Structure 1
Amino acid sequence: MTRSEAREQAFILVFEKSFNQQDSLDTIIENAQAGRDLNVDKFSYRLAEAVYGHLEAVDALIDKYSTKWKLERIVKVSLAILRMSISEMLYMEEVPVSVSINEAVEIAKKYATEDDASFCNGVLGAVAKDLEKIKEELSQE
C-alpha cells in the first residue's frame, strides 16, 4: 500500500469515527474489517491514532485557523481531512509538511468539492506557517 493509499484509509477511519464517537478506534477498525474485509496499514493506524490521541488540541487549532467557521459548521469530510493533516504535521515528523497538505487537498478533491479543497488548503497553509510556534506551545502544555 502506498502512503497516499494509507492516508486515504486513515481519512476514512477518521471520518467513520466522527459518526461513532463513542466507539474506540479499534472498534471502528474491527467493524470495518468485518464489513468490508479491510486490512489496516500501520501508517494508517498511526495517523488515525494520532488524530484521536490529540483530538482536543487538533480541534482547537482547526477552530483557531478556520476563520469565520465554527468547528460545528465545518463539513464532516473537511473536518476529518483537517484533523488528519494537522495531526500528521504535528506528530509525524518524518512526513514533510508540504506533502501532508498536498495529500489532504487531493483527498478533499476526491471526497468533497473544490470549495472544500480550497478551504482545507487555506486552513492547513495557515497552520503550516505557524507550525513551529504551535509545536512549541503544545510542548509547554
Structure 2
Amino acid sequence: MLRPETRARARALQVLYAWELQGRPDLREVVHGLGRGTRENADAVRLAEAVATDVERLDHQVAEAVEHWRPERIGVVERIVLRLAVHELLVGTAPAPVVIDEAIRLARWFAGPRAPAFVNGVLDPIARRLGRL
C-alpha cells in the first residue's frame, strides 16, 4: 500500500502534466475536476500550485545540474518529476534521500526505462549544492 504522500506526489505529477500539455493555463482550470475531497487530492493540488508558481526557479536549478543537456531536451514527465523534487528540496518538507527516492519512483512509474537513473543523476548534485546531502 502506498503512503498518502506518495499518492499525492503522483497526483501532483498528473495535474502538472495536464497543465503542461494544455499550454499552462490557469492551474485552477486543470484541478477543477480533481476536487479536494481527499487528503491526497488536497496535498496534490497544493504541491502542484507551488510548483506551477515557481517553474522558472525550479528549471534554473535543473539547468545548472545538467551540463550537457538543454532543459528543453528533457522529457515532459522527467522535467515535472524534477520540478516536484527540486521544490521539495528547496522547501525542506522531507529529508533529501526521501525526496530523491520518491522522484525515482515516480520516474519509474511514469517515464521511460532510463528516467530513474537520469532523475537520480540530476537530483543528487542539486541536493548537495543546497546542502541537503
State whether TM-score is above 0.5. yes
- Give the AA of the match of 1:125: D
**1:76 match:** 76
Q: Distance in 1 between matches of 2:111 and 2:24?
A: 25
- Give the AA of the match of 2:115: D
- Give the AA of the match of 1:21: G
Q: Distance in 2 between matches of 1:22 and 1:107?
A: 21
State the SS of the aligned residue for 1:21.
Answer: coil
Task: Quickly say closer, same or farther: Cα 1:51–1:19, change in 2 above 3 A.
Answer: same
Moved more, 49-58 or 39-48: 39-48
Q: Distance in 1 between matches of 2:17 and 2:66?
A: 19
**1:105 match:** 104
**1:59 match:** 59
Q: Could you give the per-residue CA deviations for residues 93-133 of structure 1, whole angstroms, max 9, x where no partner exists?
A: 23111111101100111111231110011101110011149
- How many percent of aligned residue pairs carry the same amino acid? 27
- Return 5+ residue gaps in structure 1 as ranges: 134-141
State the SS of the aligned residue for 1:49.
Answer: helix
Task: Quickly say closer, same or farther: Cα 1:33–1:47, change in 2 above 3 A.
Answer: closer
Cα RMSD between the aligned structures?
2.0
Q: Distance in 2 between matches of 1:42 and 1:88?
A: 16
**1:47 match:** 47
The TM-score with structure 2 as length reference comes to 0.86
**1:5 match:** 7
**2:23 match:** 21
Does structure 1 retain, via aligned residues, the 8 Å contact 2:13–2:81?
yes
Greater helix fraction, Structure 1 or Structure 2: 1
Task: Provide the aligned length of Structure 1 versus Structure 2.
Answer: 128
